[in-house]
Amino acid sequence: MRVVSGIQPTGNLHLGNYLGAIRNWVRMQDSMGDGNQCLFFLADLHAISMPHDPAELKRATLEMAAALVACGIDAQKSVLFNQAQVPHHAELQWLLNGTARMGWLNRMTQFKDKSGKNREGASAALFTYPVLQAADVLLYQTTHVPVGEDQKQHLELARDIAQKFNNDFASDDAPVFTLPEPISPPQAARIMSLRDGSKKMSKSDPSEMSRIELVDDADTVMKKIKKAKTDPEPLPSEAEGLADRPEALNLVTIYAAVADTPIEGVLREFGGEGFGKFKPALGELLVETLRPISTRFNELLADREALDAILARGAAQARDLGRPTLDAAYGALGFVR
């Protein structure tokens, strides 16, 4: 198994990233046998697809590196790096731009969401960034990509690009790229906004009340959960009872994911209770879970040298691991080098 996944370093890590992705990264890392490997990276090159502030990018990159380590990514067990120190990603993207089709990119829902009504004014990087994402995983002969539901379409694109490239430029017995499989954790594949149960919890939501950040202190967590949007009904005893109640479903999903129990288990305990009882229980559970993470995060952030060393070492490993595939892609396309 070769596991690869990335996260954009835009602002602080939130509960959606943690429950939908990072916690699963840590579990995969800790259950890898001999010969298997995990690579986790900060997708900093993606930042220029949207208007961005360079000083903020630098700060967010270091913060995200510290946050990943605080959540349990161990640079001795996994390869942890940022894209900008591994130019192979951008190089391979250019090579794959020859294979990716305009029609495929036109179908990407994230481009539509992020460009909104201003498609003409969106950056070319926003349109082609799914190809960079394909390069991110294809560069390493990745077999498995742990991601939340929202990234599955990008993974399918990576598979389409790999398949077409192999068909067009490689022989059947010596494909250049491995087709990667997405894997989502069964629970918490989709954590929604605390203000609107139909929108995913996101770093780009202008309302801070919509998300729990991993560095929120206890009072902030309790306040955000208390103010989370709900409906007046008590919680049902069966999961079906949550079908048309997106906000209630979201809070129960969060509880189930954090407590690592099925939704049915949470409803067995809280079915019939109102939010007046459920919300404080959820808030306390979150505070206890986040406390050790935010303590470690603050310690790490104070040691810039150690963070730089972790990223430099990871990048050197990633460059070595990616080199053979990049060379094979150049060779297959007929470049003289």
Q: Is 147 in the site for ligand TYM (CB under 6 A)?
A: yes
Q: According to the annotation, is 201 in a ligand binding site?
A: yes
CB neighbour class for 103 (10 Å; exposed up to 12, middle 13-18, buried from 19): exposed
CB neighbour class for 236 (10 Å; exposed up to 12, middle 13-18, buried from 19): middle
Q: What are the residues facing 82 on neighbouring strands?
A: 42
Cα–Cα distance between 123 and 75 in angstroms, integer? 34
Q: How far apart are the first and last CA of the chain?
A: 31
The residue at minimum Cβ distance from ligand TYM is 20
Tokens of residue 299, six digits: 């310690």
Residue from 60, 80, 96, 137 binding ligand TYM (CB under 6 A):
137
Residue 254 in contact with residue 188, Cβ under 8 Å?
Answer: yes
Q: How far is the CB of 155 from ligand TYM (least distance, A)?
A: 7
Q: Is 65 in the site for ligand TYM (CB under 6 A)?
A: no
Q: Is 99 in the site for ligand TYM (CB under 6 A)?
A: no
Q: According to the annotation, is 204 in a ligand binding site?
A: yes
Q: According to the annotation, is 191 in a ligand binding site?
A: yes
Residue from 99, 141, 151, 210 binding ligand TYM (CB under 6 A):
151
Stretch that binds ligand TYM, among 17-25, 228-236, 243-251, 320-328 (CB under 6 A): 17-25
What is the three-state SS of 121-166? CCCHHHHHHHHHHHHHHHCCCCCEEECCHHHHHHHHHHHHHHHHHH
Which one, 16 or 175, has the nearer CB to ligand TYM? 16
Q: How far is the CB of 131 from ligand TYM (least distance, A)?
A: 11
Q: Is 322 in the site for ligand TYM (CB under 6 A)?
A: no
What angle do helix axes 304-332 and 88-97 make, rounded to 10 degrees? 30
C-alpha dihedral sign at 317, 318, 322, 323: negative
Q: Is 21 in the site for ligand TYM (CB under 6 A)?
A: yes
Task: Kindly list the residues in this chain that would bind ligand TYM in the complex (CB under 6 A).
Answer: 5-8, 16-17, 20-21, 43, 46, 133, 136-137, 145, 147-148, 150-151, 190-191, 200-201
**Binding region:** 8-10, 16-17, 136, 148-150, 191, 200-204
Catalytic positions:
114, 200, 203
